Amino acid sequence: MAAGKAIGCGIAALTVVPLGAVIAMTLVVAGIAEDEEASQLERASCTVSEDAGATSGDLQAVPNGWGPLVEAAAKEAGLPQSVVAAQLNQESGWNENATSSVGAQGVAQFMPATWAAYGDGGDPFSAKDAIPAYGRYMAGLKQEVQSIAGDDADLLVQLTLAAYNAGPGAVQQYKGIPPYQETQKYVSAILDSAQSGFSMDCKAPTGGKSWDGDLGDGEWTTPLPGGVFTSGYGARNVPGLPAWAQDHVGVDISSPGAGFSSGGPVVAPTDLRITGFNDKDGCVIAKEDGDDPDFGFAFCHLNAYSVEKGDTLERGDIIGTEGNRAGLGSVPTHLHFEIYTPEAPDVTYPYEGFNIDPEPILKEKGAWPSS
């Protein structure tokens, strides 16, 4: 590990940390910063239900028999079906009669001027008219941001959603997702709910993938049985942290009520081989050891280890005990969990270019916390 740095809930932290930064980091770890907590609580675990209005293909849970309309709109727009379903749900909750304070109308929340251009003379309050019009509109937005995304299919989906929220001009101005908190949250919320609520088998849609390869066969086990999700991957805005530390490169899972005491057992989500440790932050570092891609893993803030370097583990074997061991000082008890791309070396640390978001991978592998 680079000298003078500690992991600290997935944020590299200078060995000497100002008190304000420690307090801010502690709030991040606990998942109790108000805006962060609210956004995290909105994220749902994947649920696949045979009676949830399932439609054909990779789509589920579209109400009112509108699944074929959504599928056709997705094909027209060139977007994943689950993303289209999640966006319509986000906009109106599937309410044909929905209106907004600024004048948006119907299940797809068209403004009158936009409806005039894309509605083909139909009724914005009719799903049979509005959902196909939505498909045409999103196809137009996608075309406007195509040159910015280039050959990156995931980025293209993200930019199309951003263009819907902020306008294609803003996407073109910033040559990416605009730095507007509302737009960034909008894109993230739709991609999250596309996977959690509308995708068969909890597959991450294009645009929501953290790694674009095949995840392999079989399911994993959640690394902290009985734990709940408390903090996600990505940029933050936490007072007291330097700019480089606002990037959370893992996810946090906590045992309810653990406080600052030792928590539950941390287990191998899949077959692993133990490749190293970062004792300052209580991290066990491992590589996948089965038939799935050779992902790297870090299990951090453990109060005790149950493994040694070179051990091979089967899915569900105990790695150690959830804790609050961290180089940045005392933190609430939790597991900070990181995944690294398969090409990462056997011993990998944050910010070396190999971190990927564990959430969509854990969801697709059936290992996301159920609470």
- Bigger pLDDT: 241 vs 179: 179
pLDDT (0 to 100) of residue 303: 97
- Residue 353: burial class (beta carbons within 10 Å; 0-12, 13-18, 19+): exposed
Which position has the token pair 């992991």?
7
Active site annotation includes 91:
yes
Q: Which of 36, 71, 76, 91 is catalytic?
A: 91
pLDDT (0 to 100) of residue 60: 85
- Bigger pLDDT: 326 vs 20: 326
Task: Tell whether the model's pLDDT for residue 311 goes beyond 70.
Answer: yes
Task: Tell whether the model's pLDDT for residue 155 goes beyond 90.
Answer: yes
Identity at 131, one-letter amino acid code: I
- Bigger pLDDT: 69 vs 246: 69
pLDDT (0 to 100) of residue 185: 93
pLDDT (0 to 100) of residue 326: 86
- Look over the chain and give the mean of its residue pLDDT values, rounded to a whole number: 85
- Bigger pLDDT: 311 vs 26: 311
Task: Tell whether the model's pLDDT for residue 153 goes beyond 80.
Answer: yes
pLDDT (0 to 100) of residue 38: 37
Tell me which of 47-61, 68-82, 300-314 is least confident: 47-61
Q: How far is CA 232 from the centre of its chain?
A: 7
For residue 299, the tally of other CB atoms under 10 A from its CB is: 28
Task: Tell whether the model's pLDDT for residue 36 goes beyond 70.
Answer: no
Give the separation between CA 15 and CA 1, rounded to whole angstroms: 13
Task: Tell whether the model's pLDDT for residue 3 goes beyond 80.
Answer: no
Average pLDDT, stretch 64-74? 97
Task: Tell whether the model's pLDDT for residue 20 goes beyond 80.
Answer: no
Q: How far is CA 313 from the centre of its chain?
A: 27
Task: Tell whether the model's pLDDT for residue 130 goes beyond 90.
Answer: yes
Task: Tell whether the model's pLDDT for residue 169 goes beyond 50.
Answer: yes
Give the separation between CA 250 and CA 229, rounded to whole angstroms: 12
287: which residues sit within 8 A by CB, 6+ positions away? 272, 273, 275, 294, 295, 296, 297, 346
Q: What is the pLDDT of residues 268-298, one digit of tens each?
A: 999 999 999 999 999 999 999 998 999 999 9
pLDDT (0 to 100) of residue 57: 57
Give the separation between CA 24 and CA 18, rounded to whole angstroms: 10
Tell me which of 27-41, 175-189, 198-212, 284-298 is least confident: 27-41
Q: How confident is the model at residue 221 (pLDDT cuts 50, 70, 90)?
A: very high
Residue pair 161/177 in contact (Cβ under 8 Å)? The answer is no
